[in-house]
Amino acid sequence: MKVLGIETSCDETGIAVYDSDLGLQAHALFSQVDIHAEYGGVVPELASRDHVRRILPLIERVLNDADLAKCGIDAIAYTRGPGLIGALMVGASVAQALAFVLKVPTIGVHHMEGHLLAPMLEENPPAFPFVALLVSGGHTQLVAVKSIGDYELLGESVDDAAGEAFDKAAKMLGLGYPGGPVIAKLATQGTAGRYRFPRPMTDRPGLDFSFSGLKTYTLNTVMGAKDKDTFDLQTQADIAYAFQEAVVETLAIKCRRALKQVNMDTLVIAGGVSANIVLRKRLEAMATKLGAQVFYARPEFCTDNGAMIAYAGCQRLLAGQSDKLGIKPKPRWPMVELSRV
């Protein structure tokens, strides 16, 4: 089965072709980072308009790269939610229109399930069951995964997600957008021990996260340095280092708790923040001590992409699932509502 995957949940237009027998055939991505950078975050209307401009040329490009004619598409998978309603509408509309013309089935994919399954695209994929840490711009969740669609939410952020916290901390430091990569780069020049930020909600039981207090602590530290006229490049780097350490250690502590709680020895990390090298190394060290393994996707499949949507959709299509014709995006969509495969 050859599945065309379409991802338009936020600020990246991702297209891919996945073959159930041969694997990923081609993929392409257009990122809107430059469009939104001057605003310090995603502007929904600008995101939707750019998806309209990019989606059809990207589909043509990917089909050409895969040496596949439109009539060779067996099904279409698209991101149904969660995400920005306007952005989701673009992908859903194009997917359903193409499917109607080609007379092929469609499947609306949950964006976070796509991230969760992205490591399955690698040569050495994880085996079920496992604990998944989903860390993206809008989500921070720990999920026990027994099989595709069999998910138990173990914990989630009660306020800002980790990715949002990185973006806001970067803005406080006068850095660019998105915040994760710029803070990670600056942190390599930071001095360990000059600042120590709190590890939120690690001093109590449970697997939920909270990063709003860490954001406030960062702001107070920045303002304090400015008041003392010590807010130079080295101070920025030291704050970036301390902030990243706090987020990474908090995530590692919660992952260790989750693995022990559900008695599993496999951890999958997925989503944009999973590309952070310090986070990967810290989780690998933690897992080694527990006798566990850590799996993640290559960096290009950590951020939003069409390949993960094509793969996730293909698995559900192979199980006999498909959508009725209609455009029904779900900007809010708890993953635990998904059916099992």
What's the pLDDT tens digit per position in 286-306?
Answer: 999 999 999 999 999 999 999
pLDDT at 286: 98
pTM listed for this prediction: 0.95
Q: Please give the Cα distance from 77 to 322 (Å, whole number).
A: 9
Question: What is the per-residue pLDDT for 338?
Answer: 96
Binding-site sequence positions: 111, 115, 134-138, 167, 180, 276, 304
Q: Which residues contact 66 (CB under 8 A, 6 or more apart)?
A: 17, 25, 26
Give the closest residue to 25 by CA, choosing from 62, 71, 75: 62
Question: Which pLDDT belongs to residue 138?
Answer: 82
- The size of the chain, in residues, is 341
Closest residue by Cα to residue 332 from 135, 132, 112: 112
User: Which residue ranges make up the annotated binding site for Fe cation?
Assistant: 111, 115, 304
What pLDDT does 247 receive? Answer: 98
The predicted pLDDT at position 136 comes to 85
pLDDT (tens, 9 = 90+) of the chain, 341 residues, equals: 999 999 999 999 999 999 999 999 999 999 999 999 989 899 999 999 999 999 999 999 999 999 999 999 999 999 999 999 999 999 999 999 999 999 999 999 999 999 999 999 999 999 999 999 999 878 899 999 999 999 999 999 999 999 999 999 999 999 989 999 999 999 999 999 999 999 999 999 999 999 999 999 999 999 999 999 999 999 999 999 999 999 999 999 999 999 999 999 999 999 999 999 999 999 999 999 999 999 999 999 999 999 999 999 999 999 999 999 899 999 999 998 999 99
Q: Which residues are annotated as a binding site for substrate?
A: 134-138, 167, 180, 276
As a whole number of angstroms, the distance between CA 111 and CA 150 comes to 16
